[in-house]
Structure 1
Amino acid sequence: ESNIRAIMESIIISHNMTCAYTSIVTVHGEVLHNEQYHHPLQTGDLLLADVGAETNLGWASDVTRTWPVSGKFSPTQRDIYDVVLAAHDTCIAQIKPGIEYLDIHLLAAQVIAEGLVNLGILKGEVEDLVEMDAHALFFPHGIGHLLGLDVHDMEDLGDLAGYEIGRERSSRFGLGFLRLNRPLIPGMLVTIEPGFYQVPGILNDKEMRQKYQDIVNWEKLEKFDDVRGIRIEDDVLVTPNGAEVLTQELPSDIDSIENLVE
């Protein structure tokens, strides 16, 4: 992990830029802000790299890709990656002025819940699963955040910038970590970063296990034990007519990633 981190950050430095934040480069993607880099890369691992540069003018980027160390996704890794990518692509396609960022988050939740139902991991109707925050067992954070002169722009002011006046952060499991709750306007730069994580502290929590005992097919979930964490993150500029993905040069589809890693 440390070797990969060093290579990636050296490229940023070689372009006379700095890192916008402490990089996350880990085979333990289930640790959302993992700042340890001592694990050796093993065949069968997925490597999650969340690395962004900051320009001389101070503008930050925030990008995440996840790829198989071996160069090939396993069938189970491919299945989960497809679910996350579907959420990523569906959300970006809906971004335009006037759209509520909360609705983009809920759209990601619906796509992820539907994908996990189709894989046999979750049981029930998609709308009901999202309402009871079942998706948040595997997607516990928000769909993204503001991006600008800081990677989590203006968050030193708490929710003052991220939340529209009169709105407060929800206490719901599936909404409490949403960093942005405003209608999108032209010129706004946001991240879109759906993910799937098997966080032991969530999945092994007694209250969670009891609450979702009949919602999760725990036996089926065990078959996906080679998927610790997957995140796909891009930086999206809201334009007058829609959106522009500023980080689209970095491929996110499975075939392109496998070709690059090989």
Structure 2
Amino acid sequence: MKPYADRRARLLAQMEAGSVAVIGTAPEATRNADTEYPYRHDSSFYYLSGFSEPESVLVLVAPRGDAAAQSILFCREKHLQSEIWDGYRYGPDAAREAFGFDSAFPIDALDEHMVRLLSNAGALYAPLARGGEQQQRRWFDGVRRLARSGTSAPPVLRDLPPLVDEMRLFKDQHESAIMLRAGEISAGAHARAMRFAGSHGAGTVEYELEAELLHEFRRHGAQFPAYTPIVASGPNACVLHYNANNRRTRDGDLVLIDAGCELDGYAADITRTFPVNGRFSPAQRELYELVLAAQQAAFDAIKPGRKYHDAHDAAVQVLAQGMLDFGLLHGTLDEVLAEKKYTQFYMHGTGHWIGMDVHDVGLYRDVAREDKPSRLLQAGMAMTVEPGIYVRPAEGVPEKYWNIGIRIEDDVIVRDNGFQLLTGGAPKTVAEIEALMK
């Protein structure tokens, strides 16, 4: 469990001497009656602990003077009857040994220990936007009751997520390996869906393709889909977050699939678009190759020292020129860009951070500067690259392009010499897709 211990040490090094950080994991959630949703831990808690059980809290105490740093886990106790019904739980002793904490205690003892740990502490670091005020008030009240003995509560309350978010933005070797495998599994799932469509053709229902994705995710050990898959055929592909996945495909449809698995806490995010009958029409091919060119332009802008936003600007430049070339827009390129006319057909950004969360944490702009410019890319940052084009029926728009929705999305990690592609196993060129589906 060295990666998690290393992360805790890095966080402790950023905290004020003698301060205390507290972060809990996500609670279990009831779906209906006595049925719960599949449990998924809090990302930042897991990032620092490697511990995936609910009802857990991690406490870090920064060193001060002769007092060494401490990492303390509070978790559920061993309980034979509960384990018979719900499965294995570590309990404090086994968790301390397995995950490398300095100490571990039952979760029911949290309040008692927090009064001790916060006594004379310099500051409390906690997620300020996630509630917990009543619990913190109990701890502070407990400390203040000891005031006659010279004990004081922390005079400062600091927001913990900004520190952890900036750490999570840069993927270490352990994370990169998991993300690469998640990308490989997800790429295989997209290829499987294409093969299924190629063998079944028009008339396939969107949820049948979704089933192929989910089968491939789980077959290779992924615990969950990283998000609800989008399987959008025909006009549905022009709805960015469509996920009903219940339309029966028709001959001539394009199918846009946006789906990725979650493996060991890390997400993949891939989008591919293909013709359900295995052959792109001339109009579909024109727009598809335009989006593919836009993605390549974005790729060319990804390297350390370039601005995060450069990839989007490069993709927009290519897409806007194509919209003019194909008669979707009219005027000059400068006018289309300055007036953002391209947003009629391309209305979202060209990517986002990715990691433990699909839309992962981390700032996109340098907030320390007054003008808040786009931040510079650095090695270790992971991001998606996902240009698209979505043509809804409209006056003045060539009818041959109506209801064509295309997005092509891949995941990359910025490296010293450019980037590492994590999702290259999913067929992407017209020739690759048509050959696979044939």
TM-score bucket of the superposed structures, by smaller chain: 0.7 to 0.9
Tell me the CA shift for residue 40 of structure 1. 0.5
Given candidates 31, 48, 52, the residue that maps to 2:260 is: 52
Percent sequence identity over aligned pairs: 40
Given candidates 363, 369, 380, the residue that maps to 1:187 is: 380
> Aligned letter for 1:22?
T
Conserved 8 A contact 2:392-2:403? no
Given candidates 275, 279, 286, the residue that maps to 1:79 is: 286
SS of equivalent to 1:219: coil
1:84-163 equivalent positions in 2, closer than 5 A: 84-154=291-361, 161-163=363-365
Matching residue of 1:223: 400
Distance in 2, Cα, partners of 1:34 & 1:95:
29
Conserved 8 A contact 2:301-2:314? no
Tell me the CA shift for residue 25 of structure 1. 0.7
Distance in 2, Cα, partners of 1:152 & 1:2:
24
User: Which structure shows the higher helix fraction?
Assistant: 2
Report the number of matched residues. 230
Given candidates 225, 229, 244, the residue that maps to 1:19 is: 225
> Aligned letter for 1:249?
G
Matched, 1:235 2:411: yes
Matching residue of 1:215: none
Matched, 1:37 2:214: no
Q: Give 5+ residue unaligned stretches, structure 2.
A: 1-205
- Per-residue displacement from partner, 1:122-161 (whole Å, max 9, x unpaired)? 222212211110111111000010001100002xxxxx62
Tell me the CA shift for residue 167 of structure 1. 7.2
Distance in 1, Cα, partners of 2:368 & 2:401:
42
Compared CA separation, residues 25 and 181, structure 1 to 2 (3 A): farther
Conserved 8 A contact 1:76-1:226? no
Matching residue of 2:277: 70
Distance in 2, Cα, partners of 1:33 & 1:107:
24
Compared CA separation, residues 188 and 65, structure 1 to 2 (3 A): same
Conserved 8 A contact 2:298-2:311? yes
Tell me the CA shift for residue 59 of structure 1. 1.3
Matching residue of 1:165: 367
**TM-score, structure 2 length as denominator?**
0.50
Distance in 1, Cα, partners of 2:434 & 2:369:
43
Distance in 2, Cα, partners of 1:144 & 1:37:
24
Question: Which structure would you say has the larger RCO, counting Cα contacts within 8 Å and 6 or more residues apart?
Answer: 1
Compared CA separation, residues 161 and 220, structure 1 to 2 (3 A): closer
Matching residue of 1:258: 434
Conserved 8 A contact 1:97-1:183? yes
SS of equivalent to 1:250: coil
Conserved 8 A contact 2:237-2:255? yes
> Aligned letter for 2:243?
E
Tell me the CA shift for residue 107 of structure 1. 1.2
Given candidates 393, 418, 423, the residue that maps to 1:247 is: 423
Matching residue of 2:144: none
